[in-house]
Structure 1
Amino acid sequence: MNKKNFKSGFVALIGRPNVGKSTLLNKVVGQKIAIMSDKAQTTRNRIQGVYTDADSQVVFIDTPGIHKPKHALGNFMLKTAYSALQGADAVCVVVNAAEKIGPGDRLVIERAKNVQVPLFLLINKIDLVSPEQVLQAIESYKDLADFAQVFPISALEGNNVPELVEGLKEVLPQGPQYYPADQVMDHPEYFVVAEFIREKVLILTREEVPHSVAVKVESMVRNEDDKIEIHAVIIVERASQKGIIIGKQGQMIKKIGKMARRDIEKLLADKVYLDLFVQVQKSWRDRMTNLQDLGYELDNY
């Protein structure tokens, strides 16, 4: 590793909800660290993913989708997204090639333009559209800001993602290696474990339990069977939601646990015993104290 010419820096991924920022982050670092679902605003905290090669380290900051907040949690998510722009060495605005440019995209670009660093436009989901539509998308966005580079990409398939990383490396300053070469995220494991459980709730309960769900990992210890024993609580706002998550004869919570355990075992490279239970906390998203208990603390970001 040539430390003398080593380049490093922080790159913020910003965009409307559901444009594929988390999918891109997972693709770049080569493993799943951010949760994915087709529900908007899946990401709540800023998640940092780390890409390292022989001559560079790029720290990607995945942010919650920019949206109009409806409660304290929404406000927190918005502040988190905008605070990611502070201290970034480059900003990537991610948009959806399959959708026409909208006011949300314009708002994101206006915010991003205020940061005096190279601005990249990533037109994602090109696997869903024709080459002509990609060209039309480029045309409709290119006059909105002075973009350093425009990359049509597929975060899912990986098209143009290596080229994007190379483009970002070009604009990053010379700097230190912030993280060990084999580290791909900066969040503690229990945070990612909680996120994986929440992802399964979102996927399996669909519209029945919207964003009024949070997960708190109470403990993570190795037990006498040499498994990592995890106790986690799924928090909802209404008793009816608790019933949905538990399911008929406990079938739904078993399914959530089984799917989450698979991802957690991959992450920890270890056998896992996962114990889940459900708790009702009315209007938890509107209480800052509740949010802080669940790990949503802006001071940490």
Structure 2
Amino acid sequence: MAWVFCSAYQLAMESDIQEGIAMLPQVEFLGKRVSRLIIGDNPVNGHSYIPELISKDDMLDYYTEATVHAAMDEGLRLGYNTWLPLACDFMLRALRHYRNCGKELEIIFQPYPALDFAVNLRQMLELKPLGIYHQGTTTDGLMEQGKAQVIKDRIKMVKDSGVHIGLGTHVPETILQAEEEEWGCDFYVGCLHNTRKRGDGQLSSFITGKPKHMKFYAEDRPLMLSAMRQVSKPCIAFKVLAGGQLFYHHRAEETPAIVEEAFREAFSQLKAGDIAAVGCFQRDKNQLAENAAALTRALTAMGKA
């Protein structure tokens, strides 16, 4: 999301930003060295959780293939070596063209719910991803319909392809159930905000095409973090910044501390090999650099850098 930073903070951060790739530490994740913070792409696809501040149209108008590639280049410069993209046609083509330029970028895909799963899997496999995870809203909807077997069949389909398979969800209990029942997941992708618990369980706007404005609640965060600590498999936490909602009703100069504290909260509870994903909207600010600097400060303060 595009939050505004005070000029004093911009000046204070310049030395951090110049650190470049050294800013982000890496961990072993699915057999590769992966940055502890990776890049989600909700903003790339116009998926805004603060639409009264930044709309779907703002995001879609800004993110052309050229600006996506520019964000990928900047991410690599800062040490982000992995994206968590939606496997829609736009991102499949953008990633293909980026790879054709010889750029080294790891991909952990979430399938595009509007497409047939088997067809979309074939498209994702062409790009040789590090992993694929079952998209969270789709997981939650199938679970609510009593169709867990559909999820298990898809997990097997991806596993049989030879790619690491993950399970995404907004519901902590689903991670614990999948692990206890041995669904065959290699990793889990958990939202720190349970959008299903309060009747917000809707079809993804990727399917409906209609914007929706969910409210995220802080009390959900420790529940998902606890679930991810309870499983031995590596995990990816997302919505760490609540899609930008953490910054509501705060002054611009408060924003850096809020970002750092959110990372401190998450990484103090994640396992040593777990990572987090945060989307970026690069139009107004270099959020990639600012988030990398905030995470570095948080990990350093905790002695985990």
Normalising by the smaller structure, the TM-score range is: 0.3 to 0.5
The normalised TM-score by structure 1 is: 0.33
| Greater share of helix | 2
The normalised TM-score by structure 2 is: 0.33
Bigger CA radius of gyration: 1
